[in-house]
Structure 1
Amino acid sequence: MPREKSIAERFDAYVEKVGGRLYKPNRRFLREALFGLMEKKSVLLSQIGRALKEPSRLIHTEKRLSRNLGNERYDDRAVEQDYLKLVAPILRDERFPRPTIAVDITDITKPRARKMPYLARVLDGSTKEVGDGYDIISLEAVGVRGRRLPLLSRLFSTESPEYKSQNATVFDAIATVRNHVPDNAFWAFDSGFDGGTFFMKMKEMGVDFAVRLRLEGNSRTLFTPEGKTNVKGLVESTPRLYFHRPRGTKKQNWLLQVGWVSNVHLQQQHPSSNKQTGKPGAKPYSLVTVSGGALGQEPLAILTTLEVKTADDARRVANIYLDRWGIEEANRFTKQGFDLEDVRALTWTGLKRMVQLVLLAYGFLALLVHGPRKQVERISSSFKAFGPVPEYLYYRLLEGIGGLLRDTMDGGP
C-alpha cells in the first residue's frame, strides 16, 4: 500500500505542476506567494513577506515580492493552462458524473483607492451601490454532494486597454475552461447573462446550459405552444404544482414548488422569425419556475436547453441552478479567507496576477479536499472551533494549513 503523501509533499508537487513552465525565479515566487497567502490569509505583500521570515529586512523582502508580482517573464496563461490540466482528470471521475460549471461575475470595491490602475465603476454586490473597483469572472465545477473545484478567476476592468466588452471577457473565459471539461458538462448562469448575444454564442457552442431570466424590466418575448408572451407573464401563468427539496438540504423552509413549460422559443430563434438565427429547426428551450421556501417572494425563472417533460426533469434543473449558488459561497471565501478586497499592487499586471494566485491557493485547498478525507479532517480539527467538521470546511482548512507548510518553506525549494 503506497505511503500517504504529507501536506508539504503535496504542496511541492502542486507548485511544480502549475508552475512547471515558469523560469526558476518565477517558480520560487509562485511558491512563496502561495505559502504566504495561506499562512497569513492576506493578499498584502507585507504580510506575505512576514510569513517568509527571511533574515533580511522586511522592506527588502516586500520590494522583491513586488518586482516578481509584476515580472513580465512570469507566464500567467501558462500557469492557468497547467492548473486546468492538473484538475481536469477530477472532473471525469464518479464525484463529477456530469459536472455543473458555474459562471459568475463578482466585484472588488476600492472606495478609498485613488491611484490604482484602471479603476472602473462597479456595482457593489453587497450594498447594491456603484463605486470604484474591479470585476472578476469566476468559473467553478460542482459535483455530487456539493463538491466543488475552482477552475478560473480573472480580474478585469472596463477601463483597461485590453477590455473589449463584458461578453468578450466572459466567452474568452468560457472557451479557456471548455477545453478542459467533459463535453457533457452543464453550464449554469445567473440573471446578468441573459442577453441576446449570450444566447447566440451559447447556441454556437452547442452546450447544455441554464440561465436565470430577470422578471422585472425584462421585455424579452417568448413563444410557447399557447402563444407569445413576456417572461413575467409566462412565469405568473405557469402553475407550480410539484414540491421539491433541493439535494443536501433538510430544513423545512427549503421545501420549494416547481413548474415548467416546454417548447419555448426566443424571438430571434423562433421558426417564424425572418432572421437567420430563426430558421426552421431552431432548438427550443424549457422554462422551469421555482418558488417558495427561502427563495423569497419572487420566483426563479430558469431557461434551459434541457428538454423538461416531467416533474423529475424540472427538479433536476432546479438542482442544477441551485448548485450554481455554490460559486457565490466560494467568492465569499476568497474575499474573506484571503482578504482579497484589500488587494493592492503598483501595476495592472500585478493586480491580475494576485487574483490568479488567490485562485491557485483556493485550488490547492480544493485538491486536498478531493484527496484522503482523514488527512483533511486532521488539518481541519487542528483549528480549535466548536462543533463537528462542517461540510464546507475551507475556512477551517485554511486556518490549519500554514503550520503544516512551514517545514517545507524553511527547508527551501
Structure 2
Amino acid sequence: MKTAARLGFGGLLLLCLLAGCAAPPPPEGPLVVLDPSSFPEFSDDMAFEGITESLSESLKYLKRVPADTAFRFGSDVYDAPHMIRSLERFQAFIAKRPDRSALSNFIRSHYRVYRSVGGDTGRMLFTGYYEPFLQGSLSRKAGYAHPIYGPPEDLAVLDLSDFSEKLAGHKIVGRVAGKTFVPYHDRNEIDGEGVLLGKAPVLVWVADPVALFFLQIQGSGKVFLDDGDVLNIHYHSSNGRPYRSIGNLLIRENKIPQAEMSMQRIRAYLNTHPGEVERIFNYNPSYVFFSLEKDGPYGAIRAKLTPGRSIAVDRSVFPMAGIAFIQSQKPVAATKGAGGVSKWVSFSRFVSSQDTGGAIKGPGRADLFWGSGSYAETAAGHLKHPGELYFLVLKPEA
C-alpha cells in the first residue's frame, strides 16, 4: 500500500514491535528430529476414525500450493510434492487398520519423527475449541441487537515481507487515517462506540452478546435464524489487536479460582454479573470479522475441520497440513447435560495441522478441534493440559 510506505522501513519495524509481531524462530527450529529409539508409542484412541478424512483435506491444500512451497521441520525443509507423498503413503497404510506393532514398524521404517521443543516447561500446552451454535436474525429487531460483522471497508493489511526477507510472513493490520497508517479500531470502539456501523456489512444480528464473544474466540460457528435457515459463519480477518485472555483477568481479580477456570465458568460469571460484561470484554481488544460459507467449519488453510483430528498451531513455527501425533488428556463428561467433567484420561491420536488461532503462538501451544455438540463444548471449555506434539514426514529415501 503506497500510503503506508511513507512510514519508512524504520517506522515499520517500530510499528511491528508495537503490534506484537512474533520474532522469527531460531535457526535450529522448534522441532527436533528423533532417533528411532526415542519414538513415542504410536496408538490412536479413535481407532483411525476420521483421520483419512482429515488428511484428505490437507492433501487438497498441498495440491493447491506451488510445488516449491517450503515446509520446515526444524532444520529440515521439504517441498509440497514430498508432503503429498508423506500423507498419501500414510493414508494407504492406515486403511489396513494396523495394530500397534505394525503401525510402529511402518513409521520406524518409512518416516522421520520430529518432537516439538514445547514451551518453558519443555512440554506442549493443549487447549480446545469447538463450533458453537447461536440464534440470530437477518434484520435488527427486538431480541437481536448484536451484529456479526463482515470485513470493514477501511481494513488494511501491510505485508512486511515487501520490505525485508527477515520479516517474511509478518503482517500488520490497520487503517489509513489521512496520510498515516494507524492501528485498527479496538473492541471498545467497535462495540461500545459503534464505529463500524455503515463501514462494515452486518452478516446477521444475534441475541446473546456472550455467545458472540465466544464465537470470536472459536473462530467459526452456525447461526440458526428465526426463519429456520442456518448460516455457516467463518473467520475472515481480525482488527490486528493482540489477543488478551479474559480468563486470566478473572483469575487475577479473584473472580474465578485458577483451578476452576473454564469457558463454562467464565460464561456463568458473565451471566450473573451483566454490569461487568462490557469492561471484561474490552480487556481483550482483539476483534474478529466473519464471512458466510456454504459449508464448514474451515481452518486457516481452507481445509474443512475434522472433529478430533484437526489442530491449530502457530504456522510461523510448525508446518501446515502435516501429519501430527499428540499425547495429552481428554475429559470424561459428567452427568448428561451437566457440562462438567468427571475425570481426565490419557489419550494419543494422529491429527493434522490445519488451523491457527490468535492465542496459539510459539512452539508450546496447540488447540484441538472437538467439533460441535455438548461434549465438544465441555472438552473445549475445560481442556488446558500438558502433552507432547510430534510431526511425521516420509524419509527422503523412502
TM-score by length of 2: 0.22
TM-score normalised over the length of structure 1? 0.22
Greater CA radius of gyration, 1 or 2? 1
Structure with the largest fraction of helix: 1
Whose strand fraction is larger, Structure 1's or Structure 2's? 2
